[in-house]
Amino acid sequence: MNKTILITGGAGFIGSHVVREFVNKYPAYRIVNLDALTYAGNLENLKDIEDKPNYTFVKADITDAKHIMEVFQEYKPDGVIHLAAESHVDRSIADPSAFVMTNVIGTVNLLNAAREIWKNDFEGKRFHHVSTDEVYGTLGETGLFTEETAYDPHSPYSASKASSDHFVRAYQDTYGLPVVLTNCSNNYGPNHFPEKLIPLCIHNILNNKPLPIYGDGKFTRDWLFVIDHAKAIDLVFHQGKNGQSYNVGGFNEWQNIDLVKELCKQMDEKLGRPEGTATQLITFVKDRPGHDLRYAIDATKINQELGYKPSVTFEQGLSITIDWFLSNQEWLDNVTSGEYQSYYAKQYN
Ligand code: NAD
Ligand code: TYD
């Protein structure tokens, strides 16, 4: 093994795709997946690669500074790709503290551990922080987020991610830690936890339950297929410049209501139900407080400097995603039992 890469949050939605990409593509790397296995972490996501010789799982909570330091001392990673986070805006509105603990304090604990084991010898070392476009706040009807857009977070989630981004940059500026950041738009794809819009609607269509649309449904997001995000992380981790941020997007903006209608159409087709069956489930509900109107990414920098572009169209990605959920209903049943039920009742009833 010529390098050890520690990936945090590797049992989550995006993290599991990043772990798979690295384990399969780089057999000469040792990939250490560090995850606390919260409600959002699930080792079922990694069944296909768990026996690979270059893969190791470590259960650890990034808020536990002492344990994190021990893990770093034991595995001595050359690179860190940091995805572990509390990631759902609605949960951050209900309980901001968990977001401060994991997203801010947890990130600082990882930065300290990296600094400690790398001393001042940064040759071949890199800390890649995975962040979101939500740190930029909201756009009006026009315009795009660039890497120069000023931070203006509105939700407790985006405020915690913005704070973590600032700490990552501060460690580069103050201690010379070699860092890169990626700020990505909304992901979708296999293994997406059904608290987020797309998998929640897939789950509800399967169960003939209402599809809750916040406010008037005209809120706009840019959607990127999760495997394309994993490929962008690979590219930036290996070829990005130290101290730089790269926006990652799908060139794929949808108003929520149009997106859900498209999803309904594809679901009806795939389930052999008459057209219009699923749209009847659409239900407008109370808006999310502080709801950002529009996110949209200008991905020129990663495109021109690193040659990145998404590999699938939205229609293809959505079709792959629905097919995955239809073939993995046991996964869906498992993750929606237990805690999910009480979360759902509190959020939507
Ligand atoms: P997720 O909620 O699906 O997974 C998060 C993972 O982190 C889980 O495996 C969980 O067990 C783990 N985790 C949470 N708290 C932890 C702790 N204290 N210690 C160790 N592990 C912990 O999240 P996701 O959607 O896969 O997002 C991954 C990263 O990408 C996050 O940093 C998120 O901010 C960022 N991001 C997400 C999106 C998106 O659309 N989902 C878009 C842009 C950026
Ligand atoms: P979400 O998937 O939670 O991602 P984010 O808030 O990080 O963008 O939400 C995507 C959009 O869908 C957002 O505008 C909120 C909206 N939404 C609904 O209308 N209903 C829902 O039940 C959920 C979860 C989200």
The CATH number for 167's domain is 3.40.50.720
CA of 288 to the centre of ligand 2 (A): 9
The confidence score (pLDDT) of residue 131 equals: 98
What pLDDT score was predicted for residue 167? 98
> Residue of the nearest CA to atom 35 in ligand 1?
131
Cα distance between residue 209 and residue 48, in whole Å: 32
Ligand nearest to the CA of 292: 2
Going by CA atoms, what residue is nearest to atom 23 of ligand 2?
A: 197
Mean pLDDT of 159-170: 98
Point out the ligand 1 atom lying closest to the alpha carbon of residue 42.
9
Ligand 1 midpoint to CA 84 (Å):
5
- Measured CA to CA in angstroms, residue 341 lies from 36, 87, 219, 333, 345 at distances of 21, 18, 26, 11, 6
263 lines ligand 2 (CB under 6 A): no
Helix (H) or strand (E) holding 255: strand 253-255
Does the residue 107 lie in any domain? yes
- pLDDT at position 176: 96
Ligand 1: centre distance to CA 9 (Å): 6
Match 């500074």 to its residue by tokens.
65
Q: Does ligand 1 lie within 6 Å of residue 63's CB atom?
A: yes
First CA to last CA across the chain, in angstroms? 51
pLDDT band for position 120 (50/70/90)? confident
Which residue's CA is the closest to the ligand 2 atom numbered 9? 197
C-alpha torsion 30→36→39→41, nearest 10: 0
Ligand 2 pocket, residue 260 CB under 6 Å = no
Q: Is the pLDDT of residue 274 over 90?
A: yes
* Residue-wise pLDDT tens digits, 4-59: 999 999 999 999 999 999 999 999 999 999 999 999 999 999 999 999 999 999 99
In a domain, 200, yes or no: no
Pick the closest to residue 128 from 20, 11, 22 (CA basis).
22
Name 23's bridge partners.
none
Q: What is the pLDDT of residue 349?
A: 83
Pairing between β-strand 253-255 and β-strand 211-214 as defined by DSSP bridges = unpaired
Q: Is residue 147 part of a domain?
A: yes
Report the chain's mean pLDDT, rounded to a whole number.
Answer: 97
Within 157-251, strands assigned E span: 179-184, 186-188, 211-214, 220-225, 245-248
Q: Assess if residue 345 is contained within a domain.
A: no
Domain membership of residue 333 (yes or no) is no
Nearest ligand 1 atom to the CA of 134 is 43
pLDDT score at 245: 98
**Which residues are CB-neighbours of 338 under 8 A, at least 6 positions away?**
none
Residue nearest to atom 14 of ligand 2 (CA): 219
Whether ligand 2 lies within 6 angstroms of the CB of 202 is answered as no
Query: Where in the sequence is the domain holding 232, given as residue range(s)?
Result: 3-188+224-250+295-311
**Does any ligand 2 atom lie closer than 6 A to the CB of residue 11?**
no
Decide whether any atom of ligand 1 lies within 6 Å of the 84 Cβ.
yes
Cα–Cα distance for residue pair 243/173, rounded to 1 Å: 8
Asked, for residue 331, whether it belongs to a domain, the answer is no
Pocket test for ligand 2, best of 93, 132, 133, 197 (most atoms within 8 A of CB): 197
Residue 136 beta carbon below 6 angstroms from any ligand 1 atom: no
Residues contacting residue 298 through CB under 8 Å, at least 6 positions apart: 144, 145, 146, 247, 249
- pLDDT value for 256: 98
pTM for the structure as a whole: 0.98
User: In a 3-state reduction of DSSP, which class is residue 311?
Assistant: coil
Instruction: Determine the distance separating the centroid of ligand 2 and the alpha carbon of 259, expressed in angstroms.
Output: 11
Check pocket membership of 164 for ligand 1, CB cut-off 6 A: no
**275-326, pLDDT tens digit by residue?**
999 999 999 999 999 999 999 999 999 999 999 999 999 999 999 999 999 9
Please report whether residue 101 resides in a domain: yes
Contacts of residue 91, Cβ cutoff 8 Å, sequence gap at least 6: 98, 99, 157, 195, 343
Closest CA to 110 of 54, 167, 192: 167
Phi then psi dihedrals of residue 328, to 5 deg: -130, 50
pLDDT band at 200 (very low <50, low <70, confident <90, very high): very high
Quick check: is 45 in a domain?
yes
Ligand nearest to the CA of 93: 2
Catalytic residues: 133-134, 157
Residues 256, 215 contacting (CB under 8 angstroms): no
Distances (CA, A) of 159 to 21, 100, 104, 134, 147: 29, 9, 9, 9, 17
Structural domain tally of the chain?
1
